[in-house]
Every structure is written in C-alpha cells, then in structure tokens.
C-alpha cells in the first residue's frame, strides 16, 4: 500500500477486541481478526477505524463508557440488541449463509424473520459507518455477515470507495440460487468497487452466479453495473510468516515442546486443531484414526492423536449435536484401544494461546487439516511456517482453499476414510529428506505471499480502480461543459460535430428505417431533411 493511504474504514462483524461484562477488553478469536490486526500493525497504517460488534451483549448503561474506551483503540462498536443478534448471527449468518456457502444445503433453515433481521443489522452497521465516511475514505468490508452493506453505503455516498473481501467460499450458482433472497444479496454486494475472494474457484463461482441470476456478464473480472466499474479478483489470504517461522526460538515455546514430548515418551504425535464446526471434517478424522488402529496393531501404544476443538457458535443446534457426536466417538476409541499407560486420543475442548499452539505444531509428526470445505484454512499455513526444522508432514484436504498453495502436502479427499488412513500410514514412512523438500518448497511460497502482501494487493487494486472509475463514469452535460463545447466549436476553422444517433437523439427501434427524427429534434438542429 502506498504511504499516501487515505483514511481506512474497516467493517467486520467482530471488533478486534471482545468486551467482557466487567468491561475489560480481550483479543477476539478468529482468523479474520488476527490477519487484519497483523496487517494493520505491520504495514504501519495509522489512520484507520474498525467498526464491528463488541462480542458480547452489554448493558445499555455501559455503552457510553465502552464507546470512549474503544475509541482510544480506534474501535467503534455497533451495539446489537440480543434478540436481533440471535436471528442475525445464529440465524441468517450461521444457519443460512454459512451452511449454504460451505456446500451443506440440508443444514439451511429458511426463515423469513432471519432475513428481515439481517437487513436490519446491516442497516445498523451502515448507520455507524456513515458517521466516519469522508471524501477520501476507503471502506473495506469483510465477510458474509455484511453482504448488503456495500449498497447501503453506496446509496448514501455515491462516490465512496468501497471494497469487500469474503473469508469463506463462494458456492457454485446451483447452490447460491437456492436462496430466496439471491438477487438482493448480489445487488447488495454490487455496491462495491472491488470484490475479493480467497481462490479462483470462488471468484469464478461468483461471476457465473452473477450472469445466471442478474444477467450481468464480465470481461476478465470487470463488470459494468449502473454506470460503475466493479472489479472481481482473487487474493489468497496469507499469514505473518516471520512470526511463526521464528517462534521456535522463543524460550517459553522450547520449554513447552520439551514438555509435550516428555509427557508422551517418544510416541508419534498426530495433531489436529479446529474450531468446532461440521465443515472441518473432525469426525472423519476420528474414523480414520480408529481404522488405523484396527489395521495396524503395531502402532498401538506408539501413537497418539492430540485433538483440540475450539468452542464455537454454541447457540446453533448443529454445533451442539456435533460436540456430542465427537465426544462419544473419542470415548469409544479410548475405551476400545486404550491402556492404563496409553490414551489414544487426547482431547481438549478449549482454545490454545499462541505459544501453546506453536509448541504443538513443533512437537507434531503429522498434522491433519482435513475440512470438508474451507475458505482458506490458515492453520495449514501456520503449521508449515512454524517448522524451521523442516520436519513434519501435513495431510491436507483438497477442499481447503490453502491446498491451492500447498501442493507439496499430502492432499486427500476427506470423504474417503480409507484415503485418510492410508495418508497417515504413508506420512509415518517418508524420509526426513522428503519432509524437508516438501516443507521448504511450501515455506518459500508462504514467505512470498504473506499477510502484508495480501492486504497491500487488495488496497492498491481498490485505489487504482478509482482512476479507472473516472474514465468510465458517465459525464453529465453541465453548463460549464456546454460552454466549453460551444467555445471550441466557434473557435474551430473546420467544424464537425459528432453526435450519437440511435438511442441518443432518437429512441432505439427494431428497424433502422423507423429511427426517423421527430419535429422537435429537427427544430433543435434547424436542419431540413
Ligand atoms: O472463516 C470465517 C470466519 O468468520 C473467520 O473469520 C473466523 O475465524 C471464523 O469464521 C469464526 O467466526 P465467528 O466465531 O465470528 O462466528
């Protein structure tokens, strides 16, 4: 991003800080928050504000104090009443858009009141954004919670510069078109100047959906819509490569790695860490581990699966049901195979802090990142970046966006338990030399396209569109322009005036001979035909 950066307005569902009931601030969870926070910090962008939900339902009497406190951190909370938030976040966002966009149409709950609340909450965000928009602001909206916001802002500020980035997959048209509100959602997004996706597949899905739903076509990702030029582009989100690469040198992390290894007394470690979500393929992972233990008795007592599941969206029934299903399977495996000195699956239902997370990445022999569908999946990238020792194997789902950049991983189809099991077996067999080759190539790529490059690419593209915007915009014939034309016409010694005819001086008609000038037009030009 050029240093001339104008004022940046970031809008996302979550603020980077969650405000607790005792009014203390803690860092919000999630890849979006950590990615954007790192980008803002590392690219030294100072002139910005971040608008979002404060992460919990707070008492109205505290709003003023919270606003003041948040403002010092450039945060501006959007307070959403609890009832409305339930229908918005648990409802439209996570029972409609999330399952459909991830290819789980049977999980979608079609409820008109969710949709109405989604519109209302997008309006709440719009009202807050409107307070900070100036002539030179750049508005960067994030994720599926705010698909209607771009057009709402555009209606208030027709010349605003607006970008949008989707952090989850964009589904193929056949799926998207199942939504009764498909047109409204697309028109909402078309308020943007730039729309970004993680990988080309999602960009192509979006462009195909536009053509089939609204009949809007594109030329190399450029769309002309309501006299505006909109660009649709791919920007694969990266990570803070150096942070993870150098983390192994930290004393605290070294100690934690040693602890994990000592506790497990030389056993091979398979690691998995995810937010609790049916899209992550966690259950299939357990089935594969169970099958491995059945197939390979020689692995008994020599291998453990450390499974970390991070609590998430506990207000949605599918998530509650899934937790139960996972925990039952884990007890079944441990009950069937475990011994007094060997628990095959070590299960944690909590989040890990940065040091603990990297220590697990470093202590691991094999990591399983096998979502059924995932926009990008930064865990895969973080694991690879952390391994300065060039050791370890990653088994990665072909349906994670990151698989496009991590081709040297063991790429699997997570729907096949056999394929997963075989991949784990094979992962234990490959030489240190091969591990090194694979990890090194992937690290080179991640180093080049890191989180800074991602953010800079998006914002520079958005800024460059501003110049094009002027070129393509319709020029109104103002009195000033009329005068300019008159003057140049009178001054010229060879006078020719080029005018558009069909559709300008006369209406468009089916046959050319019907396009005759009427009396008014003839009088205007004082010409006798
Ligand atoms: O992947 C989309 C995303 O919104 C991430 O940004 C975030 O890490 C994750 O989903 C969890 O989201 P939330 O806890 O806000 O529902």
Residue 98 has pLDDT above 50, yes or no: yes
The runs of H, that is alpha helices, within 157-278 are 173-176, 182-189, 200-214, 241-245, 251-263
Residue nearest to atom 16 of ligand 1 (CA): 313
The rounded Å distance from CA 354 to ligand 1 centre is 17
Confidence (pLDDT) at 489? 85
Tell the residue number behind the tokens 């803002």, with chain if given. 40
Instruction: Give the count of beta carbons closer than 10 Å to the beta carbon of residue 478.
Output: 9
Average pLDDT of every residue of the chain: 93
Confidence (pLDDT) at 110? 98
The rounded Å distance from CA 15 to ligand 1 centre is 12
The rounded Å distance from CA 322 to ligand 1 centre is 18
Residue nearest to atom 8 of ligand 1 (CA): 30
Instruction: Give the count of beta carbons closer than 10 Å to the beta carbon of residue 246.
Output: 12
Which whole number is the average pLDDT over 166-195? 98
List Cα–Cα distances, 394 to 280, 335, 371, 426, 513, in angstroms: 15, 28, 13, 11, 70
Band of pLDDT at residue 435, cut at 50, 70 and 90: very high
The rounded Å distance from CA 263 to ligand 1 centre is 33
Confidence (pLDDT) at 176? 98
List Cα–Cα distances, 269 to 11, 196, 280, 363, in angstroms: 40, 37, 20, 7
* Ligand 1 near 145 CB (within 6 A): no
Confidence (pLDDT) at 496? 84
The rounded Å distance from CA 150 to ligand 1 centre is 20
Confidence (pLDDT) at 36? 96
The rounded Å distance from CA 13 to ligand 1 centre is 9
Report helix, strand or coil for 118. Answer: helix
**Ligand 1 nearest atom to the CA of residue 145, by list position:** 4
Residue 385 has pLDDT above 90, yes or no: yes
Residue 499 has pLDDT above 80, yes or no: yes
**Ligand 1 nearest atom to the CA of residue 374, by list position:** 1
Mutate to test the pocket of ligand 1, among 167, 374, 402 (most ligand atoms within 8 A of CB): 167
Residue 5 has pLDDT above 90, yes or no: no
Residue nearest to atom 12 of ligand 1 (CA): 30
**Ligand 1 nearest atom to the CA of residue 31, by list position:** 8
Point out the catalytic residue in the list 143, 500, 502, 518: 500
∠ CA 147-191-451, nearest 5°, is 65
- The pTM (predicted TM-score) of the whole model is 0.89
Confidence (pLDDT) at 56? 85
The rounded Å distance from CA 30 to ligand 1 centre is 5
Residue nearest to atom 9 of ligand 1 (CA): 30
* Ligand 1 near 32 CB (within 6 A): yes
* Ligand 1 near 30 CB (within 6 A): yes
Confidence (pLDDT) at 523? 82
Band of pLDDT at residue 470, cut at 50, 70 and 90: low
**Ligand 1 nearest atom to the CA of residue 312, by list position:** 14
The rounded Å distance from CA 32 to ligand 1 centre is 7
Confidence (pLDDT) at 528? 46
In the sheet with 138-142, reading across from the earlier edge strand, the strands are: 75-77, 48-53, 8-14, 138-142, 161-165, 194-197, 228-234, 222-225
* Ligand 1 near 143 CB (within 6 A): yes
Task: Give the pLDDT confidence of 204-253 residue by residue, as tens digits.
Answer: 999 999 999 999 999 999 999 998 999 999 999 999 999 999 999 999 99
Which whole number is the average pLDDT over 283-290? 98
Q: In this structure, are strands 25-27 and 17-19 parallel, antiparallel, or unpaired?
A: antiparallel
- Those residues whose C-beta lies under 8 Å from the C-beta of residue 226, and which sit 6 or more positions away, are 190
Query: Which structure tokens are listed for 405?
Result: 């950049």
**Ligand 1 nearest atom to the CA of residue 89, by list position:** 16
Confidence (pLDDT) at 1? 45
Task: Give the pLDDT confidence of 82-96 residue by residue, as tens digits.
Answer: 999 999 999 999 999
Mutate to test the pocket of ligand 1, among 30, 143, 196 (most ligand atoms within 8 A of CB): 30
Residue 304 has pLDDT above 90, yes or no: yes
Confidence (pLDDT) at 472? 62
* Percentage of the chain exceeding pLDDT 70: 96
* Ligand 1 near 375 CB (within 6 A): yes
Band of pLDDT at residue 3, cut at 50, 70 and 90: very low
* Ligand 1 near 52 CB (within 6 A): no
Least confident of 187-201, 231-245, 308-322, 444-458: 308-322
* Ligand 1 near 312 CB (within 6 A): yes
* Ligand 1 near 371 CB (within 6 A): no
The rounded Å distance from CA 249 to ligand 1 centre is 30
Confidence (pLDDT) at 248? 98
∠ CA 481-483-486, nearest 5°, is 110
Residue 217 designated active-site: no
Residue 514 has pLDDT above 50, yes or no: yes
Residue 501 has pLDDT above 90, yes or no: no
* Ligand 1 near 406 CB (within 6 A): no
Residue 340 has pLDDT above 50, yes or no: yes
* Ligand 1 near 31 CB (within 6 A): yes
- Rounded to whole angstroms, how far apart are CA atoms 368 and 282? 9
**Ligand 1 nearest atom to the CA of residue 33, by list position:** 6
Task: Give the pLDDT confidence of 9-46 residue by residue, as tens digits.
Answer: 999 999 999 998 888 999 898 889 999 999 999 998 99
Confidence (pLDDT) at 120? 98
Mutate to test the pocket of ligand 1, among 31, 101, 315 (most ligand atoms within 8 A of CB): 31
Task: Give the pLDDT confidence of 99-156 residue by residue, as tens digits.
Answer: 999 999 999 999 999 999 999 999 999 999 999 999 899 999 999 999 999 999 999 9
């Amino acid at each position: 991003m050029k240093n001339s950066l104008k004022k940046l307005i970031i809008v996302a569902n979550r603020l980077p800080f969650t405000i607790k009931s005792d009014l203390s601030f803690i860092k919000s969870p999630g890849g979006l928050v950590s990615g954007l926070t790192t980008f803002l910090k590392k690219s030294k962008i100072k002139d910005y504000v971040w608008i979002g939900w404060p992460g919990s339902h707070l008492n109205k009497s505290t709003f003023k104090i919270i606003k003041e406190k948040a403002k010092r951190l450039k945060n501006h909370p959007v307070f959403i009443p609890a009832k409305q938030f339930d229908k918005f976040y648990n409802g439209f966002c996570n029972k409609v858009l999330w399952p459909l966009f991830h290819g789980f149409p049977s999980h979608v709950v079609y409820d008109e009141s969710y949709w109405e609340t989604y519109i209302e909450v997008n309006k709440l965000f719009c009202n807050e954004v409107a307070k900070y928009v100036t002539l030179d602001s750049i508005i960067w909206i994030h994720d599926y919670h705010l698909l209607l916001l771009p057009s709402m802002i555009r209606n208030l500020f027709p010349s605003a510069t607006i970008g949008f980035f989707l952090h989850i997959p964009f589904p193929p048209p056949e799926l998207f078109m199942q939504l009764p509100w498909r047109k409204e959602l697309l028109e909402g997004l078309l308020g943007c100047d730039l729309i970004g996706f993680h990988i080309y597949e999602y960009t192509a899905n979006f462009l195909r959906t536009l053509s089939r739903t609204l009949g809007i076509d594109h030329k190399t990702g450029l769309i002309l819509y309501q006299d505006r030029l909109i660009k649709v582009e791919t920007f694969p989100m990266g990570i803070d490569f150096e942070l993870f690469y150098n983390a192994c040198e930290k004393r605290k992390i070294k100690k934690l790695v040693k602890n994990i290894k000592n506790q497990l007394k030389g056993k091979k470690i398979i690691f998995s860490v995810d937010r609790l979500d049916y899209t992550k393929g966690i259950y299939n992972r357990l089935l594969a581990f169970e099958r491995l233990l059945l197939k390979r008795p020689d692995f008994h007592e020599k291998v453990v699966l450390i499974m970390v599941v991070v609590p998430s969206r506990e207000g949605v029934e599918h998530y509650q049901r899934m937790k139960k299903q996972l925990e039952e399977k884990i007890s079944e495996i441990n009950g069937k195979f475990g011994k007094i000195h060997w628990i095959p699956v070590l299960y944690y239902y909590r989040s890990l802090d940065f040091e603990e997370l990297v220590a697990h990445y470093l202590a691991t022999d094999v990591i399983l990142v096998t979502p059924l569908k995932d926009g990008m999946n930064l865990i895969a990238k973080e694991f690879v970046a952390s391994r300065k020792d060039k050791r370890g194997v990653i088994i990665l789902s072909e349906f994670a966006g990151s698989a496009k950049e991590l081709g040297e991983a063991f790429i699997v189809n997570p729907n096949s338990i056999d394929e997963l099991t075989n991949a784990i077996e094979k992962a234990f067999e490959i030489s240190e030399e091969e591990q090194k080759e694979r990890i090194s190539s992937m690290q080179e790529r991640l180093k080049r396209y890191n989180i800074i490059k991602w953010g800079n690419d998006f914002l520079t593209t958005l800024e460059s569109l501003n110049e094009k915007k002027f070129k393509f915009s319709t020029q109104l014939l103002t009195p000033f322009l009329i005068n300019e034309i008159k003057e140049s016409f009178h001054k010229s010694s060879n006078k020719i005036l080029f005018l558009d005819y069909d559709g300008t001086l006369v209406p468009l008609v089916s046959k050319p001979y019907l396009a005759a000038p009427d009396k008014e037009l003839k009088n205007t030009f004082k010409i006798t035909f």
